[in-house]
């Protein structure tokens, strides 16, 4: 490419230019220049820089009009850029290319050898291959282009592909300024490949860096890249270059050059479809090339397009693999003594990812153990909650399950056994038969008094004729079940005591501590004070759960489980669930939903606000609303929501931001509510009540006598205690925004 002279004002650069400017060459062009300069077998050619595109746009006064047009519109309730794309491409197609730009491109093409060769004309946008985005496949490539006029037109077509609906929409979603994008173009001599495809220098599915993945098929590589064929796939050991797994694809068609211009799809002979497109030697050569290219690009795993023609391997392009998982770590997942059994249950279900060391120390090790006063309930001692490789676990080696301790072969307990152990520990005593009968009678009276007039008369009539005598209360309030869910949290007096402690001690304690530290100004407090605040708040959150929110939550969960168990054992063929009967409770979740709907209602009241919310990605919606002149009422409602519910996060670990710091998920929910104009919480409640009434009618038709009144008691009992579930969960994480 020595014939191509590149001056500072030139629109054309040699393919192997020493320029390393993404904004000038685009992602594909910069990568190919670097590869060519490193000595890889990159097909020759030249690059038309973004300066040519920008000069064309500026000379014709198009930039402002393009930016104004590149806005979303709503079509049938969905964001669309179709009309914007069509209008922009019409703008770009109308003016003639400047004589200077056309002459430079034509001269660069004439300098290629042999004369008038077929070339590939590839788009290379200046936003390509950014670390946080992947533009693969969004702009166009034109193959087997021959002749000066055809090449110039293909360059213009590549410019136009910067403004396809898909490309505009992706930049809009990613927050990339539409006014700053520009298109360079790579022109390369066509490689009439017999075999081509893609090479990943790491396994893109698993992240394994010791494996390479090769996709290959006959003909030009666009068939593989564009998903038009099912290629052969090879999993290759990078150390040996040998395929450890080979999957022969169907390879029914291939793309080939179509005469002097363009390409066509042709059928592959039946006999060739079932054979491997690559030899053992070719696979080894490919993987060696991949390693060298990866090394050239600073060890970053690469997504490489390649071709083989006349026995020679060519590098067509290389870019970083996007969204590559971390390298899998070969670790032993074994508990650290004294822990012997670990389970992912209870409070750790709110910690889906590895937790930070400070949270582990303050919350798990100190906070959750504070109420135990140093006494361990586990075989071999130690805390109930531990971590393994950063993930939080609850131990399952309870002393009460394995009383002989280290002399017992400890197996993993079932979920029922674990829950039964927790309930028994919560109960802390064994009621005598007399006490149990007394509590059963007490609960039956409460149940009877809660019935309406008609139901109470029906119950009295049934009780008088049932012939159960003194066992009536026990039989109605406690079904004959061996399921351990009925071991504890099965009487109102016990459950009321747990809830009373939570309301009078546990919850107020956390509220008081967070309130005290909220009064401290971090800007003026000393380092010692701030450290004490972090410790106090972290420990207070852990203590909130273990003393005694975990048991309070257990009351709600147990009563729900008891209803579910009764339905499953009494009506096994009807597949009822407790959830069919528990909808409609006023809860913190419903309050949060109502608060979000209030925001949606205020947005729906203004058509311009409604459209703004519909077309703006959730991650940028707050900033967009703050700039809108009519958003005041909606912003007030958002502030109200975040003030009440903003402490809630997506994990309990305080290292992750709560909603008040990252409200993206809130705005995603809001967008859904705004989009569905038919949605309202009131209608949702009506639908839920209707479903519950239908299920109740089915139950009444299926059950009678003792089983019917057992069901009614279980439903009443669950209604009493289930609502506390969400009330306890509401306060989790309330210390973190402080």
Coil/strand/helix, residue 384: coil
* pLDDT of 574 higher than 80: yes
Which residues, 6+ apart, have CB-to-CB distance to 188 below 8 Å?
Answer: 15, 32, 42, 43, 44, 45, 119, 120, 122, 316
Q: Which two tokens stand for residue 448?
A: 């009877």
Q: Which two tokens stand for residue 660?
A: 């008040």
Partnered with residue 79 across adjacent β-strands are 74
Task: Judge contact between 686 and 548, C-beta under 8 A.
Answer: no
Write out pLDDT tens, residues 501-510: 999 999 999 9
- Rounded distance, CA 715 to CA 713, Å? 5
- Rounded distance, CA 474 to CA 64, Å? 81
State the pLDDT confidence band at 259, using cuts at 50, 70 and 90.
confident
The C-alpha R_g of the chain, in whole angstroms, comes to 34
- Rounded distance, CA 12 to CA 39, Å? 21
Looking at 345-452, list the stretches that DSSP marks H as alpha helix, in order from N- to C-terminal side: 357-359, 415-427, 433-450
- Rounded distance, CA 307 to CA 383, Å? 59
Write out pLDDT tens, residues 287-301: 999 999 999 999 999
Of the CA atoms within 13 Å of residue 518, those in its CB half-sphere come to 11
Q: What are the angstrom distances between the C-alpha of 643 and each of 637, 638, 732, 737?
A: 10, 8, 15, 10
Mean pLDDT, residues 224-248? 95
Task: Judge contact between 477 and 486, C-beta under 8 A.
Answer: no
* pLDDT of 1 higher than 50: no
- Rounded distance, CA 402 to CA 382, Å? 15
Quickly tell me which residue has 């303050």 as its tokens. Answer: 362
Neighbours of 285 (CB within 10 A): 16
What are the chain's domains? 1-190 (3.30.1490.20), 191-330 (3.30.470.20), 342-413 (no CATH), 433-571+703-730 (no CATH), 588-686 (no CATH)
State the pLDDT confidence band at 426, using cuts at 50, 70 and 90.
low
Write out pLDDT tens, residues 467-507: 999 999 999 999 999 888 898 899 999 999 999 999 999 99
- Rounded distance, CA 513 to CA 515, Å? 5
Which residues, 6+ apart, have CB-to-CB distance to 438 below 8 Å?
Answer: none
Write out pLDDT tens, residues 370-421: 998 889 989 999 999 999 999 999 999 888 888 876 656 666 777 776 666 6
76, with CB counted inside 10 A (0-12, 13-18, 19+), is exposed
């Amino acid at each position: 490419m020595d014939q191509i002279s590149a001056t500072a004002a030139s629109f054309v650069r040699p393919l192997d230019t020493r320029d390393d400017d993404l904004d000038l060459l685009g992602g594909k062009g910069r990568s190919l220049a670097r590869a060519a300069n490193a000595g890889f077998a990159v097909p020759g050619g030249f690059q038309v820089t973004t300066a040519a595109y920008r000069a064309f746009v500026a000379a014709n006064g198009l930039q402002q009009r393009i930016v104004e047009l590149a806005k979303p519109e709503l079509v049938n309730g969905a964001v669309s850029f179709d009309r914007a794309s069509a209008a922009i491409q019409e703008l770009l197609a109308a003016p003639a290319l400047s004589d200077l730009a056309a002459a430079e491109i034509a001269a660069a093409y004439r300098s290629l050898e042999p004369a008038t060769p077929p070339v590939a004309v590839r788009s290379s946008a200046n936003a390509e291959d950014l670390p946080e985005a992947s533009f693969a496949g969004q702009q166009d490539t034109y193959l087997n282009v021959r002749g000066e006029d055809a090449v110039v037109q293909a360059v213009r077509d590549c410019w136009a592909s910067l403004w396809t609906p898909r490309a505009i929409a992706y930049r809009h979603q990613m927050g990339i300024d539409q006014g700053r994008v520009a298109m360079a173009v790579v022109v390369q001599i066509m490689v009439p490949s017999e075999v081509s495809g893609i090479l990943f220098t790491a396994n893109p599915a698993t992240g394994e860096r010791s494996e390479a993945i090769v996709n290959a098929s006959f003909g030009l590589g666009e068939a593989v890249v564009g998903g038009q064929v099912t290629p052969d796939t090879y999993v290759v050991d990078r150390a040996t270059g040998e395929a450890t797994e080979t999957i022969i694809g169907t390879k029914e068609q291939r793309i080939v050059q179509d005469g002097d211009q363009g390409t066509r799809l042709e059928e592959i002979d039946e006999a060739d479809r079932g054979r491997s497109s690559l030899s053992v030697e070719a696979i080894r050569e490919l993987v060696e090339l991949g390693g060298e290219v990866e090394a050239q690009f600073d060890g970053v795993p690469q997504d490489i397009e390649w071709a083989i023609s006349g026995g020679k391997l060519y590098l067509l392009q290389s870019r970083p693999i996007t969204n590559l998982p971390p390298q899998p770590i070969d670790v032993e997942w074994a508990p650290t003594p004294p822990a012997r059994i670990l389970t992912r249950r209870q409070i750790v279900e709110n910690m889906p990812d590895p937790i930070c060391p400070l949270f582990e120390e303050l919350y798990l090790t100190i906070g959750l153990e504070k109420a135990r006063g140093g006494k361990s309930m586990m075989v071999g001692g130690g805390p109930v909650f531990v971590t393994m490789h950063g993930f939080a676990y609850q131990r399952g080696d309870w002393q009460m399950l394995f009383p002989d301790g280290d002399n017992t072969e400890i197996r993993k307990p079932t979920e029922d056994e674990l829950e039964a152990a927790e309930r028994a520990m919560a109960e802390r005593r064994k009621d005598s038969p007399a006490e149990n009968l007394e509590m059963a009678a007490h609960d039956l009276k409460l149940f009877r008094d809660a019935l309406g007039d008609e139901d109470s008369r029906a119950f009295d009539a049934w009780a008088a004729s049932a012939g159960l005598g003194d066992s009536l209360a026990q039989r109605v309030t406690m079904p004959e079940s061996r399921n351990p869910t009925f071991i504890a949290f099965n009487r109102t007096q016990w459950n009321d005591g747990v809830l009373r402690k939570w309301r009078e001690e546990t919850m107020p304690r956390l509220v008081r501590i967070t309130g005290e530290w909220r009064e401290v100004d971090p800007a003026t407090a000393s380092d010692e004070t701030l450290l004490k605040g972090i410790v106090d708040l972290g420990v207070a959150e852990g203590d909130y759960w273990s003393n005694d929110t975990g048991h309070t939550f257990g009351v709600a969960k147990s009563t729900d489980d008891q209803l579910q168990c009764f339905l499953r054992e009494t009506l096994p063929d009807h597949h009822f669930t407790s959830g069919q009967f528990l909808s409609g409770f006023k809860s913190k979740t419903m309050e949060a939903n109502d608060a979000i709907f209030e925001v949606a209602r205020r947005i729906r009241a203004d058509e311009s606000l409604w459209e703004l919310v519909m077309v703006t990605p959730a991650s940028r919606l707050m900033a967009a609303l703050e700039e809108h002149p009519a958003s005041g009422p909606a912003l007030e409602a958002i502030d109200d929501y975040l003030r009440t519910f903003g402490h809630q996060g997506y994990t309990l670990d305080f290292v992750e931001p709560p909603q008040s710091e990252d409200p993206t998920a809130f705005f995603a929910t809001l967008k859904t509510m705004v989009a569905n104009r038919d949605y309202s919480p009131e209608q949702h409640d009506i639908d839920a009540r209707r479903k519950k009434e239908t299920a109740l009618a089915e139950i009444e038709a299926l059950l009678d006598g003792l089983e019917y009144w057992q069901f009614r008691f279980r439903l009443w009992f669950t209604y009493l205690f289930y609502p506390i579930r969400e009330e306890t969960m509401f306060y989790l994480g309330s210390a973190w925004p402080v």
